[in-house]
Every structure is written in structure tokens, then in C-alpha cells.
Amino acid sequence: MFNLILFGPPGSGKGTQSQNIVNTYKLAHISTGDLLRDEVSRQTALGVEARKYMDQGLLVPDEVVIGMISSKIDDMPEARGFIFDGFPRTKEQAEALDKLLEFKETSIELVLSLEVPEEELVKRLLGRGQTSGRSDDTEEVITKRIKEYHAKTSVVANHYDAFGKLVRLKGDGDIAATFKLITQEIDKYLQPA
């Protein structure tokens, strides 16, 4: 199994590049943002609870997200590997993920961090807000999401850097240029499928 984390602030391109990676390497994609939005749209108990946080640009509590990930991993025993997008977002989530994977006798091999200047992030997210229909792509909520990233999520990079698993990539080029940088790193571990 080859397991990858695509890491970076809101608007850094994780969702778009995850799709490119899935198409090329046939990894199973797990996006906590997508999973949570699905729960919200189905108005499940989890979704109703999660929405309170999401609409304020705050992180959903760790135990909610960790439980969701755990069952998602169990749903796909045949996967060639996983690409985690938007998870882990706190040190506690990172430690929980490490344990979950260890239990399955596997681990995270690589963490690719997409580095994009803040003004570019805001520009992209506001642009997306005009068409995405996402209630959290407004200027006020975007500012809070970026603040939450600095307060709680950026430390996750250090967690994996300490294990020598972190690679920082320039994420402010166009989609194709960024994907090329990504494939150059993944190709060291895994061939396209």
C-alpha cells in the first residue's frame, strides 16, 4: 500500500490535484471536506452538528472526523493506497491516523505540502465562491478558515517533517505545472497505474 497526504491551506489546490492523482495512480481518495459536505446535504445527525462549525470556518471536532475516516478506510480494503485530502488537520488527527494505519500494518509514506501565498489563496477562494455554492467561501469565513489553519493545522507539517516524510512544493503555478511537481515526487515511490 502507498498512502499519501496532500497537505496545504484552504485554496491551495488539494481537491483539484487529488483528482489528478487519483486518475494517474488509482489511489482511493478520502476528503474529509467532501465527506462532511455529504453528511450536511443528507442532514444526518453528524452533518447537522458539523455544519455549525463549517459555516463559521472552524474545524469540526477531532472525534467526529476521526470516526468518519476510520469507517471510510474500512470500506475500501482493496485499495492500492489512500490519498488523504484535508486530513489530518490537527496534531491529534495525525496521531490518530498513524495509529489507524499501523493497525492495518501500513503507514503514511509521503506528505506533499502545497505552498501558496496568502493573497493568492484568498483570491482563489473568493473566485470559487462565485460558482461553488459553498456557504463557507465568503470573505469573512475564508479569513477564519485561514486563521484556523495557522492556529491548528500548520503544525501537522512539523509532525511528519520530524519523520522525514514532508516535501514542500510550490503550489502557486498553474494546475498542470503543480501536478508535474507532484508526479515527480510520487514517481519515486509508485508508478502510474
In whole angstroms, how close is the CB of 167 to ligand ADP at the nearest point?
19
Which of 118/187 has CB closer to ligand ADP?
118
Supply φ then ψ for residue 76, to 5 degrees: -125, 65
Q: Which is nearer to ligand ADP, 89 or 159 (CB)?
A: 89
Asked if residue 88 has a cis previous peptide bond (ω within 30° of 0), the answer is yes
The grid coordinates listed for 38 are 455529504
Smallest gap from residue 192 Cβ to ligand ADP (A): 25
In the complex, residue closest to ligand ADP by CB: 33
Task: Considering the complex, state which of residue 36 and residue 186 has its C-beta at the smaller distance from ligand ADP.
Answer: 36
Report the nearest approach of ligand ADP to the CB of residue 123 (Å).
14
- As a whole number of angstroms, the distance between CA 58 and CA 77 comes to 31
Minimum gap (Å) between residue 55 Cβ and ligand ADP: 8
Q: Which residues would be at the binding site for ligand ADP (CB under 6 A)? A: 10-11, 32-33, 36, 53-54, 57-60, 65, 86-87, 89, 93, 136, 145
Contact 28, 80 (CB under 8 A): yes
Alpha carbon distance 129, 142 (integer Å):
10
Cβ(93)–Cβ(65) below 8 Å: yes
What count of other Cβ atoms lies within 10 Å of the Cβ of residue 27? 23
Nearer Cβ to ligand ADP (62/190): 62
